[in-house]
Structure 1
């Protein structure tokens, strides 16, 4: 527990923050296994375009999802900042390609707001809400729900 405003305590949730195009997103830090530099994966025939392929990670075959393509970002450029976040979701290892990783941010409930009710590419069930800290606004994702969506089917939710 961490003190907030000097007198009351609240549960701090930690999120790994990353960028896709001009937006900043956050995912539960407990779902993150590791962060790696981008290496082109082995392409799988007939896979959706946002599934870039697979990599061999210490003997485990890991599907790689390019979140920029999944979220219809204007341009997916692979450069020195491009990273793969390796996630451990329901005993399934999945990698997601993002533009860059920012930091780990702790948010208390007062800093989180519900997701706006708008149509978007992201399944609304996969958006936990919006987090704000100073002048930063994060889109908080439930990465397990996102990876278990009908178009992804990468994680079986039990």
Structure 2
């Protein structure tokens, strides 16, 4: 083996990750693609009474009812713009590493691009934003700053209990009450 080939083999390439890039208004954000189950067009949603305004509703997907949140409404208090590029992105949500994954829908504007880069290119931005813990580090490129959205940190305990109750209602119990 030549000396050059030996050096190439000794230096393992940095493991890059794929990210789904989207916008909230004029700002760019990214989800790690490994968290994404499927990207769908917008579909009609059933609203959830008394839920926070950023909980867009639920819909039936392959036999399961999936809750959906509007990330624009969650982050900045205004619903996502209705565009042809606004998508319903299904993600694998886990409250923690030991919990089983559950499907969660996210309404995302302009969710049409991807980026492949090393996760270490995202750097802390110096604020401890306890009101939005899901907003992670940022990456600078020619288009400005891109912020990583961490799926595991999207829901606080009260919203998680609303969208993913520990004990789902038993339809038989509802019939007994009638």
Q: Are residues 50 and 75 of structure 1, via their aligned partners in 2, closer, same or farther at CA, if it must alter by over 3 Å?
A: closer
Aligned match of 2:105? 95
Q: CA deviation at 1:99?
A: 1.2
Tell me how far apart the structure 1 counterparts of residues 62 and 128 of structure 2 sit (CA, whole Å): 41
Aligned match of 2:148? 140
Give the 4+ runs in structure 1 shifted more than 6 A: none
Q: Which is richer in helix?
A: 2
Aligned match of 2:48? 44
How large is the RMSD of aligned CA atoms in angstroms?
2.3
Residue 35 of structure 2 is aligned with which of 10, 31, 34? 31
Deviations 1:3-52 (A, max 9, x none): xxxx8732212211111111111111001011111122001111111111
Q: Is the 8 A contact 1:18 1:103 kept in 2?
A: yes
Q: Which is richer in strand?
A: 1
Structure (1 or 2) with the larger CA radius of gyration: 2
TM (normalized to structure 1)?
A: 0.80
Q: Are residues 142 and 80 of structure 1, via their aligned partners in 2, closer, same or farther at CA, if it must alter by over 3 Å?
A: same
Q: Are residues 46 and 112 of structure 1, via their aligned partners in 2, closer, same or farther at CA, if it must alter by over 3 Å?
A: same
TM (normalized to structure 2)?
A: 0.72
Question: Structure 1: where are the runs of 5+ without partners?
Answer: 1-6
Q: Are residues 109 and 78 of structure 1, via their aligned partners in 2, closer, same or farther at CA, if it must alter by over 3 Å?
A: closer
Aligned match of 2:175? none
- The count of corresponding residues between Structure 1 and Structure 2 is 147
Question: Structure 2: where are the runs of 5+ without partners?
Answer: 1-10, 95-100, 166-178
